[in-house]
Amino acid sequence: MGTTQPIRNRQELQNFSSYYKQVKPHLRNYTLVVLGLNTALRISDLLNLRWRSVYDFKKNCFRDHLLIWEHKTGKRNYIAINQNAKNALYLYFMEKNPDPEEYVFSKRTNPYKPLSRSQAYRIIKEDASHTTSEEAISCHSLRKTFGYYAWQEGVQPALLMNVFNHSSFHITKRYLGIEQDEKDLVYLNINL
């Protein structure tokens, strides 16, 4: 399969999400992976986050929600920041002590310039090459993995369609690789 895939194996997902924390410590990269997995944001929207978007500098606390205008769709999106994402952000925030206008995922040489998409891709590919058996992993896999596990946990199809801005559940199923999983089960469960 050449199409970008979600990370379906739970142990591989756990290894993937902790690679830049435990195996090859790098808090920016760790936070990128964790925030991507937990928000379902496209990589372009993740890379454009500034610290003021995730941290309230007046109240000295992390925000409970992200309010963004999606780069691709131009639509406003209001996303809850869960505890795993806040924990990763906290570790990185404490290491960095950033200015509100700095990008969360910035270049090493300039905190006021966002990380490039190609560098984010290399970060994700390196992580996946050490932690997953799936070859078709890219930045978009973070978003697809979020949706895949939401579906596995029983999130209603209409809600997933809304999260991804899809027009039908058929599109969402294909997007998440669920159609192939369902077809595989048919073949594996029929033992004639």
pLDDT averages per 10-residue partition of the chain, 192 residues: 84 98 97 97 96 97 93 84 98 97 96 97 98 94 95 90 86 81 84 84
Distance CA 15, CA 88 (A): 15
Domain ranges of the chain: 10-189
Residue 72 a catalytic site member: yes
Catalytic residue, chosen from 8, 20, 28, 42, is 42
Cα-Cα-Cα-Cα dihedral sign, residues 73, 39, 122, 175: negative
Q: 43 exposed, middle or buried (CB, 10 Å; 0-12, 13-18, 19+)? A: buried
Catalytic residue, chosen from 72, 75, 76, 108, is 72
What pLDDT, on the 0 to 100 scale, is given for residue 1?
43
Catalytic residue, chosen from 8, 86, 140, 144, is 140
pTM for the model stands at 0.91
Domain 10-189 homologous superfamily, CATH = Intergrase catalytic core (1.10.443.10)
Residue 65 a catalytic site member: no
Place of tokens 């570790």: 91
Residue 8 a catalytic site member: no
Residue 183 a catalytic site member: no
Catalytic residue, chosen from 63, 107, 166, 174, is 166
Both tokens of residue 115?
């990380």
